[in-house]
Amino acid sequence: MNHDKYDDDYIRSILNTVKSIAMVGASPVNVRPSYFAFKYLAQRGYDMIPVNPGQVGKALMGKPFVASLADIGRPVDMIDIFRNSSHIMPVVEEALKLPTLPKVIWMQLGARDDAAAAKAEAAGIKVVMNRCPKIEYGRLSSEIAWMGVNSRTLSSKRAPIPTQGMRLSLNRVSVGGGSTSASDRAARDKTELT
């Protein structure tokens, strides 16, 4: 698997099939990126489980924190690692000891460990590195377009404004790049001015 670039169908198939997500490194602090990602995915209907040993006894959006993956006590479809790269291998090794292996191990933006990815893939687990499921979901559903961001998806219909627990369709046609004739003209004009 080439982990430098993912096909949209690969990401789409993961986000369409997983139901439960254990977020390792979830934070109850409402200005942390893990908090935003956790909340967003929970609002899109995913069964979110916060994993953080330093937060046991607290809850995130009504979900109690657990100290480790083994403490979840039930199978999970995906493990979303919100830790830096140096902490990925121990999480993958813990995941490989679970009675039921997850379908996916997802490493957040800036997190990458090729050795851990190879180990997980050897066990039959899909891997995504250096991506955010919140961003990918918003892009593939075109929901991110509501904020004026080019989602690189084509549709004559605007994505609906989601309600609590609503899963949006991720089956919009994706296109590469993001260049437009206007952006090409602006780049050309800027070059001609210098």
Instruction: For residue 148, give the DSSP letter.
Output: T
Spell out the alpha helix ranges (H) of the chain.
8-17, 33-43, 88-96, 114-122, 133-140, 181-193
Report pLDDT digits (tens) over 7-19: 999 999 999 999 9
The architecture of the domain spanning 8-174 is 3-Layer(aba) Sandwich (3.40)
Cβ-proximal residues to 44 (8 Å cutoff; 6+ apart), any chain: 137, 162, 165, 166, 167, 168
pTM exceeds 0.85: no
Domain boundaries, the chain: 8-174
pLDDT, one tens digit per residue, over 35-92 is 999 999 999 999 999 999 999 999 999 999 999 999 999 999 999 999 999 999 999 9
d(CA 146, CA 100): 38
pLDDT the model gives residue 180? 43
Q: What is the pairing mode between strands 59-60 and 63-64?
A: antiparallel
Residue type, 113: D
